[in-house]
Amino acid sequence: MMRFVLSLLAAVMLAPIAATAQDSEPLHIEITDGVIEPMPFAIAGFIPESSEAADMASQITQVISSDLTGTGLFREIPKSAYIQNVSSFDTPVKYSDWQAINAQALVVGSVGMQGGKVVVKFRLFDVFSGQQMGDGQQLAASPASWRRLAHKVSDVIYSRITGEGPYFDSRVVFVSESGPKDNRQKRLAVMDYDGANVTYLTDASTIVLAPRFSRDGTKVLFTTFETGFPRIKMLDVATASARLLPEVPGTMTFAPRFSPDGTKIVYSMEQNGNTDLWMMNISSGQTQRLTTSPAIETSPSFSPDGSRIVFESDRSGTQQLYIMPASGGDATRISFGDGRYSTPVWSPRGDMIAFTKQNQGRFHIGVMRTDGSEERLLTSSFLDEGPTWSPNGRVIMFTRESPGAQGSASLYSVDISGRNLKKVSTPGAASDPAWSPLLP
């Protein structure tokens, strides 16, 4: 598949526009668990610097608007309400005109073509304090990567206002599904976080499940049934070439995840009717058994520092969540609520674990602290499962299956506060999402 290349043309700041600071608190969205009133903002158009940049300027503006409003934290003011006409990137900002329409943040930018690349410049303004927020920036990329430019602009705006890490310039690998419910055809696909730029990584000749990105986003682990039994395969995202990982004859291997440093994988292996967790060194193929319980133990996930693993096990009689050292050893149970817990995933921040919960005929996506405290259910439906974290640990994407013979799987996302539940656009039915790290 095409490997996108993005270069930072100017790490130095663009000259700020002079302004007189008013007596006002700095612009900031405090994200809490309560209802948040979206911040009104305005994008005074990304001004095309030439006729050939006009269409791309409009498209970049639309993507930035979609990124920000899609968080549920921002509300774009319609352009029909604008008073000031910003005709160039260096037009002085008339703060009173933007205050009059209650814009709290203002984005001004331009798009040009230079040396065969798209060049984007932008500034962010705090309207009520009458100040520019941070340095202006200038980015450049090939025309094919214009959406990445837009996402990077959105990331800067989002981070400066919220104080949260960025996540728009990222990708999601997932299982694309087609055909009837009792005979689904499945293949791996990868897309931008918002559903654009879908590329297929495998064909539909065999069942594929549970893809997982490496920490650097260059590799994907997944489970394949191409031999008739579940096996683990590793795929290079740039070339879509893949290879089966070593196995012990007569066993089944599945549910793999990379270690944070990318040198090892943890996975489940079924052998002689028993399923335990194992570790494999990718380069040497050397393996280490991590659990020896007669229970079924699966869905392992590393802590961000690689020191611990959370997993699901029915050693207590029902599916529950446990944490153990990454080298194996004693495991500590962390789930104690009603129902069954599965598919735990450690947050990239390290402070929370997302999971699937089944209770009283309903499925939920939830989060808890790493010691099992502060459990909170974010969703509820006929079937919600398989959470994956955004790169900044703020949003969770998951699979939602609709009931009935005609039911199908879709991807949804939700903020960790339980707000902003929404469907993610995909070409058809989709399941098993896995979020990439932030792209370089």
Q: Rounded distance, CA 389 to CA 346, Å?
A: 8
DSSP β-ladder status, 384-389 and 395-401: antiparallel
- State CA 352 to chain mean position distance: 16
**The pLDDT value given to residue 3:** 34
pTM: 0.92
Report whether 395 contacts 415 (CB < 8 A). yes
**The pLDDT value given to residue 25:** 60
Q: Could you tell me the end-to-end alpha-carbon distance of the chain, in angstroms, rounded to an integer?
A: 17
Secondary structure string (H, E, C) spanning 200-235: ECCCCCCCEEEEEECCCCCEEEEEECCCCCCEEEEE
| Side-chain-facing half-sphere of 379: CA atoms under 13 Å | 31
**The pLDDT value given to residue 2:** 34
Helix (H) or strand (E) holding 161: helix 146-162
Q: Rounded distance, CA 185 to CA 179, Å?
A: 6
| DSSP state for residue 170 in the 8-state scheme | -
List, in sequence order, every beta strand (DSSP E) within 259-351: 264-271, 274-281, 287-289, 297-302, 308-313, 320-325, 332-333, 340-346
**The pLDDT value given to residue 8:** 41
Q: Residue 28's CB: how many other CB atoms inside 10 A?
A: 13
Largest CA distance in the chain: 75
Q: How many residues does the chain have?
A: 440
Q: Rounded distance, CA 364 to CA 366, Å?
A: 6
Strand partners, 278: 267, 289
- State CA 113 to chain mean position distance: 30
Q: Residue 339's CB: how many other CB atoms inside 10 A?
A: 17
**The pLDDT value given to residue 292:** 94
Q: Rounded distance, CA 68 to CA 144, Å?
A: 22
Q: Rounded distance, CA 216 to CA 181, Å?
A: 34
Residue 255: C-alpha distances to residues 150, 292, 295, 343 (Å): 34, 17, 16, 10
| Side-chain-facing half-sphere of 281: CA atoms under 13 Å | 7
Report whether 355 contacts 335 (CB < 8 A). yes
Contacts of 2 (CB under 8 A, 6+ apart): 144, 199
Residue type for 387, please? P
Q: What is the pLDDT of residues 87-140, one digit of tens each?
A: 999 999 999 999 999 999 999 999 999 999 999 999 999 999 999 999 999 999
Report whether 65 contacts 58 (CB < 8 A). no
From first to last of the 440 residues of the chain, give the pLDDT tens digit. 333 334 443 333 454 444 444 445 667 666 665 557 899 999 998 999 999 999 999 999 999 999 999 999 999 999 999 999 999 999 999 999 999 999 999 999 999 999 999 999 999 999 999 999 999 999 999 999 999 999 999 999 999 999 999 999 999 999 999 987 778 899 999 999 999 999 999 999 999 999 999 999 999 999 999 999 999 999 999 999 999 999 899 999 999 999 999 999 999 999 999 999 999 999 999 999 999 999 999 999 999 999 999 999 999 999 999 999 999 999 999 999 999 999 999 999 999 999 999 999 999 999 999 999 999 999 999 999 999 999 999 999 999 999 987 789 999 999 999 999 999 999 999 999 999 999 98
- Helix, strand, coil % in the chain, rounded to nearest 5: 10, 45, 45
Residue 388: C-alpha distances to residues 98, 193, 240, 347, 396 (Å): 39, 12, 22, 9, 6
Q: Rounded distance, CA 141 to CA 121, Å?
A: 12
**The pLDDT value given to residue 20:** 40
**The pLDDT value given to residue 183:** 80
Residue 282: C-alpha distances to residues 219, 246, 261, 285 (Å): 12, 9, 11, 5
Q: Rounded distance, CA 256 to CA 24, Å?
A: 51
Q: Rounded distance, CA 51 to CA 69, Å?
A: 28
Contacts of 38 (CB under 8 A, 6+ apart): 69, 72, 73, 74, 75
